[in-house]
Structure 1
């Protein structure tokens, strides 16, 4: 026993001596901040400069002398983007850089289930680790201000509270694996075609109540390690180096300790980048060795110009060290984190996660005559119509473009599901839209060309529809230009390619028609009164066909809820009703000056976004925020409140009974909105302040509790620049959609 003790003691002494001989930055017994300071003191000026700007399209340099590896980023947020060449967007042509394509974030938000968000972040992080990525450029949390925005599919809807609750678990699960989240695009990125030149003019109240809460939650609760600045201007400054957003709000008010990353090409000035909060510069002319200099990356604003400015006394070492500290902190969390595990790629678990998120996010918008689920059996005939039934909806869309290992199309999913019931499936195109099946070297093997005329396509579909038991039309948008695509916004609210005409023709000959809208945005549906069933199917990734078929055939009971208001027309959106989009061009300016905005886009609707606007304007949308049906029914009753803690800390818990009154197991989302009966400022009629998703068996009932605190009753006081609540009467509104709130309870804030 004595020998064992002596052996252990000798081992501990040896380890202690070894630890004492290690540089502090390599000593894991030290705090991260101690290691950061030690490493910082050992770095030369040149080494400090090299870590704050890109060295390739998607990487920045490490410090080989100190053992710091290069830092690799990847586009997201729905999967790990395929590798590109060092200096170009061109695909590297590798065979081992595929991925699982997860559903778009609009679908994730539509689950109204934070557990799904956590699962999403975990699976994505494991794929990123296997692919050697240290930072995922996502998630995105810009607010759904207009349904024309081409990038809405990458975001989490119109409501700041919903987006806040859904973004935090994604970040936490991703970063537990040693992969940094880079939440984007900070902030007010709501206009794609003008994003490089537009100055977003918004009130402080709207900024803090609508457009910042999800970012704030990502930082203060999710502890995000990265934030990406947006291309647009705010208060006349580029958002990638913006005194107000980055220094004042992000770093001072929210105490953000991570890195601010420029969007690719979003940096425009060394002076502004140094002073106004940018930490890492990416994408500024990434043509590498093709430029006239030895290395184009040395010309970045935060490269040699910064270094030379320090040597000349224009900038200080303190300014540089502040940025390097943040980058070193990022290194110790990621590339120098010994706890990181290798990860997995395209595993069965990842496909199962993608499928579960898709199934939970699919929204049943309308179901007259119980057309859904499809009543299938031997001899039943289903006609599938629509280009989106066969088109890859993973490819395209801009930086979210993915090379998936596999993608199950809606047609493939329907054929497999119907075959299990002995039913047959036929297919007709119905219309020809976007035949492009390639972006950045990622392409689909499906030939989308069709020589038939528009009339012939409709006639052929109608002919088969006459003898079918069901017609399932897969339409909507795609990821082509001027649809759901980065860099462009939609030009109109209508469905493209005359799809409404095709659906009308089919509805005239078959009463059992199901319209499935695949998109990240709402669109005009003029045929909705003539179609008994409508489903919002999003962009669902690799398992799209499996997920859609499982819901349509009843294997899965839909439980998704809309994360945005679905208007009848553009007038149902405040930004359009007030002619506040896309802004007004400035006159008498130097358009060659990239540091001067060319457009002012005033957010005239202020805090009245989405359901807040429809309430304020007295409009009734086509489908309300939070709306979503089920194959069973639910009843809410007995709303009560525990007021015992209200006077102590401002918190209050509301409890409501939820009962499954139907014959199938299903999930319902209990939604809590707060109405301020009287305030010193103009406030929306109601605002979402809590929700809970609950799964119930037939006949089962459960008490569901949702707690709020004083922040749920507060508004942003522009005069005092702080959040404020006022004593008085409030009302809790509880239900299953923003337009279905049967349970109400008044309470008083003392």
Structure 2
């Protein structure tokens, strides 16, 4: 069996107009009634067995509704960058459908690098349309875990190191997806900041760090974005697994933040029935139980929130208060998704979706360095273009874990460059290095044969000879989505580039000065060759339109405007988690073999506290390779002097900062105005500055605009763990405005009374 047909039942038989006229129609189907009334009526009609059945999976990606009442089942899907292909009912293997190919959108690191909230909405809306067209009810994303270490294999799925940037970028994404009647499932809540030991670790962190760094994106997702579901993580916190965690799910999420949505487990994240009942979980997926050996008809009956839950109720060991709360949350979700008769039909792989993917890619690419203005390519200086590097020809939409996709097409960098320059220039390719020649994940195959038996010296010599006789050299390298690189399940083994790329880059830099390195990755990498390479582009994983987005930047058809969503340290030891914290876990426990199974979890202490990313670099005065917020343009921009509407504010006031931005270059382009706040005197240790506002502004040559950013006391506050509240201490503050965390252009002081 490939997929069971969803039971629609009475919902599709009875029209809304008939329901409005006929008083015999059950309340739960009567759209003239409030959702609250309909939920209560449906709940009252359900048997105990029907209620429990709703709480757990019936297949790899679906959970049952109530067939007797015409309440449809829920269908979930990965992932945050595109709708995952169909798999077998009980297996991860492909279902073999021929109509489940989609558009792959840029990875979330690329989206965050746009620093453009409108792009985030466009992304969410387009992705939600594809999910809706594919009849999905819950999209398992976006991911908002904070970038703590550049070795985390899953960083490419997240939005960077800063809680404010992530919070502001995730909200429009959620609203865009859910405008289609498809729920988002913001993940992984919480503290899943590495893949190594993700199932067998216990995070030890102070409350201030938890609230200031790791929780804000999740809070914004549920209180501002109204994400209809949220996904629990794998790791432990306070000795309880995150998907069944009293403090995270009940105390913070449901009580403190007032969350009314559904908590979904990550696949395989549940391991205790009573904790799952009492500690906030609502919907269980993917548990690793062998139900068939227990004599049940269906393995799913043996899930923790299945027959074991039912047995506890029937034996009188637990009541039904928690059960009814879980079911009410699921019914509320149903009225927004499966039973929402007003949701649009969606569409897949439309021209609009292709354009959105391309535009996000263009805006997300970050020009890290452009010494001597090597880019954009000027064919008046010569038309021989050498493209070198495996990543120019390697499909990147397949692999990387659960976000792996089956796409209608993927324009590779070499193809995009040939398409853009081929009629005007002689574009030639050399491999340069051999990395991962594979290309398969869960049965989806890239169809590529990248086998190359030549030696490293042969590959290098070919690349160098091509570079010598070319006018421009574009090296396309970086990481890929193989295991131990940018991929779910394992972290990177080192900070450097794999596959001898450093040697290739260094050799190419010696023979051609019109040289640009394009790094395809979702993580920072070491660059020992940086002083010798004039131009570097951070290109991310850009999805179906990758090659076209890159070619637009190389040619100057699009002016780069991306900004880094995380810092690039010079070396791994410059990162706070590796300098002061514990990674991948406590050294003594590692030596003792802890972390091998869930009975012996390894502790991971976040000793660096709130000093993550640029907060650490600023405080310790460690110069990064490239700073958070950094990104160049083919144009230049001039910042005027910052002004404020008031210099003394009360706790209830808002304050607005205004700065004039002028495009002083010859090309139209965009600049990101970044507002950081510094507490000049505090009773607790605080970062030198923290991002608290940003706006992307588009300007034609010579054009200038006034940009205003307004904040209130929340931007001045720190979390007081003893009082368990946010505190804005009276005193002197400074607003710092610039175009990266280490390029502050103008400052203005003010006082909080």
Length-normalised TM-score, structure 2: 0.96
Match of 1:24 in 2: 27
Among candidates 63, 68, 71, match of residue 66 of structure 2: 63
Could you list the per-position Cα deviations for residues 90-111 of structure 1 after superposition, in whole angstroms to 9, with x for gaps in the alignment?
0111100011000000000000
Match of 1:106 in 2: 109
Mapped pair 1:149 → 2:144 = no
Match of 2:124 in 1: 121
Mapped pair 1:321 → 2:305 = no
Could you list the per-position Cα deviations for residues 1-34 of structure 1 after superposition, in whole angstroms to 9, with x for gaps in the alignment?
xxxxxxxxxxxx9968725222111111222111
Mapped pair 1:34 → 2:40 = no
Match of 1:183 in 2: 186
Could you list the per-position Cα deviations for residues 100-142 of structure 1 after superposition, in whole angstroms to 9, with x for gaps in the alignment?
0000000000000000000000000000011010000000000
Could you list the per-position Cα deviations for residues 527-584 of structure 1 after superposition, in whole angstroms to 9, with x for gaps in the alignment?
1110100000000000000000000111100000000001100122100111521112
Q: Distance in 2 between matches of 1:592 and 1:99?
A: 38
Q: Distance in 1 between matches of 2:215 and 2:144?
A: 9
Mapped pair 1:43 → 2:54 = no
Q: Note if contact 1:268-1:595 (Cα within 8 Å) is conserved in structure 2.
A: no
Q: Distance in 2 between matches of 1:204 and 1:648?
A: 24
User: 1:644–1:500: structure 2 CA closer, same or farther, 3 Å change rule?
Assistant: closer
Among candidates 676, 680, 704, match of residue 679 of structure 2: 676
Q: How does 1:507-518 map to 2 (within 5 A)?
A: 507-518=509-520
Match of 1:7 in 2: none
Mapped pair 1:239 → 2:247 = no
Q: Note if contact 2:152-2:195 (Cα within 8 Å) is conserved in structure 1.
A: yes
Q: Note if contact 1:87-1:288 (Cα within 8 Å) is conserved in structure 2.
A: no
Q: Note if contact 1:260-1:278 (Cα within 8 Å) is conserved in structure 2.
A: yes
Q: Note if contact 1:25-1:36 (Cα within 8 Å) is conserved in structure 2.
A: yes
Q: Distance in 1 between matches of 2:491 and 2:715?
A: 33
Q: How does 1:57-96 map to 2 (within 5 A)?
A: 57-96=60-99
Q: Distance in 2 between matches of 1:329 and 1:314?
A: 28
Match of 1:193 in 2: 196
Mapped pair 1:558 → 2:560 = yes
SS where residue 245 of structure 1 aligns?
helix
User: 1:593–1:535: structure 2 CA closer, same or farther, 3 Å change rule?
Assistant: closer
Could you list the per-position Cα deviations for residues 122-174 of structure 1 after superposition, in whole angstroms to 9, with x for gaps in the alignment?
00000001101000000000000000000000000000000000000000111
Among candidates 464, 468, 479, match of residue 477 of structure 1: 479
Q: Distance in 1 between matches of 2:679 and 2:647?
A: 20
Q: Distance in 1 between matches of 2:140 and 2:291?
A: 22
How far is the alpha carbon of 1:285 from its aligned partner? 2.8
SS where residue 326 of structure 1 aligns?
helix
User: 1:291–1:313: structure 2 CA closer, same or farther, 3 Å change rule?
Assistant: closer
Moved more, 378-387 or 159-168: 378-387
Among candidates 211, 222, 226, match of residue 223 of structure 1: 226
Match of 1:544 in 2: 546
Q: Note if contact 1:127-1:344 (Cα within 8 Å) is conserved in structure 2.
A: yes
User: 1:14–1:520: structure 2 CA closer, same or farther, 3 Å change rule?
Assistant: closer
How far is the alpha carbon of 1:286 from its aligned partner? 7.2
User: 1:531–1:379: structure 2 CA closer, same or farther, 3 Å change rule?
Assistant: closer
Q: Distance in 1 between matches of 2:297 and 2:488?
A: 32
Q: Distance in 1 between matches of 2:507 and 2:20?
A: 82
Could you list the per-position Cα deviations for residues 166-187 of structure 1 after superposition, in whole angstroms to 9, with x for gaps in the alignment?
0000001111110000000000
Q: Note if contact 1:189-1:232 (Cα within 8 Å) is conserved in structure 2.
A: yes
Among candidates 362, 366, 369, match of residue 365 of structure 2: 362
SS where residue 736 of structure 1 aligns?
strand
Could you list the per-position Cα deviations for residues 685-733 of structure 1 after superposition, in whole angstroms to 9, with x for gaps in the alignment?
0000000000000000110000001100000001100111011000000
Q: Which residues of structure 2 form unaligned runs of 5+?
A: 1-15
Q: Note if contact 1:129-1:344 (Cα within 8 Å) is conserved in structure 2.
A: yes
Q: How does 1:274-353 map to 2 (within 5 A)?
A: 274-285=277-288, 293-353=296-356
Q: Distance in 1 between matches of 2:17 and 2:232?
A: 48
Match of 2:3 in 1: none
Q: Note if contact 2:651-2:713 (Cα within 8 Å) is conserved in structure 1.
A: no
Q: Which residues of structure 1 form unaligned runs of 5+?
A: 1-12
- Count residues with an aligned counterpart: 737
User: 1:588–1:151: structure 2 CA closer, same or farther, 3 Å change rule?
Assistant: closer
Match of 2:533 in 1: 531
Mapped pair 1:749 → 2:752 = yes
Q: Note if contact 2:366-2:537 (Cα within 8 Å) is conserved in structure 1.
A: yes
How far is the alpha carbon of 1:377 from its aligned partner? 4.8
Match of 1:273 in 2: 276
How far is the alpha carbon of 1:593 from its aligned partner? 11
SS where residue 306 of structure 1 aligns?
helix
Moved more, 124-133 or 635-644: 635-644
User: 1:379–1:700: structure 2 CA closer, same or farther, 3 Å change rule?
Assistant: closer
How far is the alpha carbon of 1:231 from its aligned partner? 0.3
Among candidates 208, 212, 217, match of residue 214 of structure 1: 217
User: 1:290–1:112: structure 2 CA closer, same or farther, 3 Å change rule?
Assistant: farther
Mapped pair 1:663 → 2:637 = no
SS where residue 207 of structure 1 aligns?
helix
Mapped pair 1:424 → 2:450 = no
Q: Note if contact 2:290-2:302 (Cα within 8 Å) is conserved in structure 1.
A: no
Q: Note if contact 1:158-1:563 (Cα within 8 Å) is conserved in structure 2.
A: yes
- Alpha carbon RMSD of aligned pairs, Å? 1.8
SS where residue 92 of structure 1 aligns?
coil
Match of 1:443 in 2: 445
Q: Note if contact 1:237-1:595 (Cα within 8 Å) is conserved in structure 2.
A: no
Q: Note if contact 2:651-2:752 (Cα within 8 Å) is conserved in structure 1.
A: no
Match of 2:730 in 1: 727
Match of 2:711 in 1: 708
Among candidates 392, 396, 403, match of residue 393 of structure 1: 396
Q: Note if contact 1:265-1:283 (Cα within 8 Å) is conserved in structure 2.
A: yes
Match of 1:575 in 2: 577
Q: Note if contact 1:716-1:723 (Cα within 8 Å) is conserved in structure 2.
A: yes
Match of 1:262 in 2: 265
Could you list the per-position Cα deviations for residues 441-474 of structure 1 after superposition, in whole angstroms to 9, with x for gaps in the alignment?
1111221100100000000111111000011000
SS where residue 279 of structure 1 aligns?
coil
Moved more, 277-286 or 366-375: 277-286
Q: Distance in 2 between matches of 1:466 and 1:56?
A: 57
Could you list the per-position Cα deviations for residues 496-534 of structure 1 after superposition, in whole angstroms to 9, with x for gaps in the alignment?
011000011111111111000000000001111101000
Q: Distance in 2 between matches of 1:299 and 1:42?
A: 25
SS where residue 21 of structure 2 aligns?
helix
Q: Distance in 1 between matches of 2:535 and 2:593?
A: 53
Q: Distance in 2 between matches of 1:563 and 1:17?
A: 51
SS where residue 649 of structure 1 aligns?
coil
Could you list the per-position Cα deviations for residues 54-107 of structure 1 after superposition, in whole angstroms to 9, with x for gaps in the alignment?
000000001111111111000100000000000110011110001100000000
